[in-house]
Amino acid sequence: MDTMAKLAILAEAAKYDVSCSSSGVSRKNQGGIGNAKSYGICHTWSADGRCISLLKILLSNDCIYDCRYCANRRSNDIPRASFSPREIADLTIQFYRRNYIEGLFLSAAVEKSPHHTMEKIIKTLTLLRQGYGFHGYIHVKIIPGADPVLVQQAGLLADRMSVNIEQPSEESLRLLAPQKSLPQLYAPMQQVREQIRLNKEDRKRFRHTPKFVPAGQSTQMIIGASPDSDLTILKTTQALYQTFDLKRVYFSAYVPINQDSHLPAPATAPPLLREHRLYQSDWLLRFYHFQAEEIVDVGHAYLERDIDPKTSWALRHPEFFPLEINRASYEELLRVPGIGPKSAWRIVTQRRLAAISADQLKKLGVVYKRAQYFITCKGVCPSNQSFDPLIIRRLLSPPPQPEQMTLF
């Protein structure tokens, strides 16, 4: 099989992995090729609008597991292929020189055993880093069940590592991936978290200690393959951030690829809007100091479709509004729909010099269309609207449409 045919199979097999970020680490080029920028760089966008930053590829799609949701499960009759470490390294370097990619995202189906697969991954990374002098970004999948020593070795070569928990709850995982369990998936996450922490301590004392997973770890779960509510998903997400210091939790709207009694029928559209709302909530958790319990609760276990989660929170908390722009703290400003971390910072820095009036807000990057209902400027409410959640909800909801055409 030539490289062309293998690439076709193994890129196709890797496409359901969401993460493609190349941010969070600065790495210098030390006499070889490549570096990494903390802001991350996207190199192109595919026809589905997702960014391509890394060469996202499987080492092999020949899997011993039979997870129900997965395209590469053992019981699927699909062409199988494997790359050799040299082929992957060569492809990475040649793409990188042409500025097609920012680095490599290497994952693998579990071929023979977790140890065997992890060893092959390490061999590829070693070849790239040492053989080719590659200093670009590398994201690598941890194969659950692999020896902790192997995980550590890989961590010294990679920038980011991830284990996909795939399902937000133990029950769903047991149902859909009978050969996996949450404790088995959490073990390597726990290990990586501990070692990142130790490594940070060591680096304070010995400057040349090699970095261990400097861009942190991430994970991914599939949305809509199991009946879990948004409440479960967001609580799991929050717990993951807190317990394992994850950098990101990714959501992947389930694309029905397999015929299975436990899964949505193959004609079901992927829940893209739900995925979008979950990402918005994820941003609230990470950048807006929200708690999962504020976004969804037992009474509202699902996110609203018509209104984003932040506006939804604001409308449920009329006691908080309207806020005076010139007096509210940074934290309070972050709670206003239409104001983000950057515009909140601009407001705080500018109002030290002069009070801010309503017409200046747009220039500060505030989404005035939304924010106007929730604020006062110098004591005046710019929308001339008394704060009535019902009216504001009607004003902010999209006009009724026969069918939602596109998402973004």
What tokens appear for 66 in the block? 């039979």
Question: Does the footprint of other proteins cover residue 4 (CB under 8 A)?
Answer: yes
**Chosen residue from 19, 21, 23, 55 binding other proteins by CB under 8 A:** 55
Closest by Cα among 33, 2, 248 to 136: 33
> Between residues 206 and 408, which has the closer beta carbon with respect to other proteins?
408
The count of chain residues that interact with other proteins, using the rule CB under 8 A, is 60
Task: Sketch the per residue contact string, 259 through 288, with other proteins: x for CB under 8 A, - otherwise.
Answer: ----------xx-x----------------
Q: For residues 38 and 92, give the distance between their C-alpha atoms in angstroms, rounded to a whole number.
A: 20
DSSP secondary structure string, 41-99? ---EE-TTS-EE-EEEEESB---S---TT-TT-TTS-----B--HHHHHHHHHHHHHTT
Closest by Cα among 295, 259, 252, 294 to 276: 252
Q: For residues 184 and 87, give the distance between their C-alpha atoms in angstroms, rounded to a whole number.
A: 31
Q: For residues 166 and 252, give the distance between their C-alpha atoms in angstroms, rounded to a whole number.
A: 9
CA torsion angle for 313, 319, 321, 325 (degrees, to 10)? -110
Q: Per CB under 8 A, which of residues 62..101 are in contact with other proteins?
A: 91, 94-95, 97-100
Question: Does the footprint of other proteins cover residue 378 (CB under 8 A)?
Answer: no
Question: Does the footprint of other proteins cover residue 220 (CB under 8 A)?
Answer: no
Stretch that binds other proteins, among 48-56, 157-165, 173-181, 329-337 (CB under 8 A): 48-56
Give, as one character, the DSSP assignment of residue 139: E
In which region does residue 378 sit, left (phi positive, over 0), alpha (psi from -120 to 50) or beta (all else)?
A: left
Question: Does the footprint of other proteins cover residue 145 (CB under 8 A)?
Answer: no
**Chosen residue from 25, 56, 228, 234 binding other proteins by CB under 8 A:** 56
Q: Per CB under 8 A, which of residues 225..254 are in contact with other proteins?
A: 253
Stretch that binds other proteins, among 31-39, 140-148, 213-221, 240-248 (CB under 8 A): 31-39
Query: Could you tell me the maximum CA-CA distance found in the chain, to the nearest angstrom?
Result: 72
**Chosen residue from 19, 24, 44, 116 binding other proteins by CB under 8 A:** 44
> Between residues 141 and 346, which has the closer beta carbon with respect to other proteins?
346
Question: Does the footprint of other proteins cover residue 349 (CB under 8 A)?
Answer: yes
Angle between helices 230-244 and 182-205 (to 10 degrees): 30
Stretch that binds other proteins, among 32-40, 178-186, 218-226, 308-316 (CB under 8 A): 32-40
Question: Does the footprint of other proteins cover residue 320 (CB under 8 A)?
Answer: no
**DSSP-derived 3-state class of residue 337:** coil
> Which amino acid makes up residue 139?
H
> Between residues 41 and 187, which has the closer beta carbon with respect to other proteins?
41
Smallest separation (angstroms) from other proteins to the CB of 343: 9
**Chosen residue from 1, 16, 62, 280 binding other proteins by CB under 8 A:** 16
> Between residues 5 and 149, which has the closer beta carbon with respect to other proteins?
5
**Chosen residue from 26, 50, 242, 291 binding other proteins by CB under 8 A:** 50
Question: Does the footprint of other proteins cover residue 128 (CB under 8 A)?
Answer: no
Q: Per CB under 8 A, which of residues 95..114 are in contact with other proteins?
A: 95, 97-100, 102
Which stretches within 211-291 are classed as H helix?
A: 230-244, 272-287
What tokens appear for 24 in the block? 């969070």
Closest by Cα among 164, 93, 170, 146 to 124: 93
Residues that bind other proteins (CB under 8 A): 3-4, 7-8, 11-12, 14-16, 28-29, 31-35, 37, 39, 41-53, 55-56, 91, 94-95, 97-100, 102, 136, 253, 255, 269-270, 272, 346, 349-350, 352-354, 356, 360, 363-364, 406-408
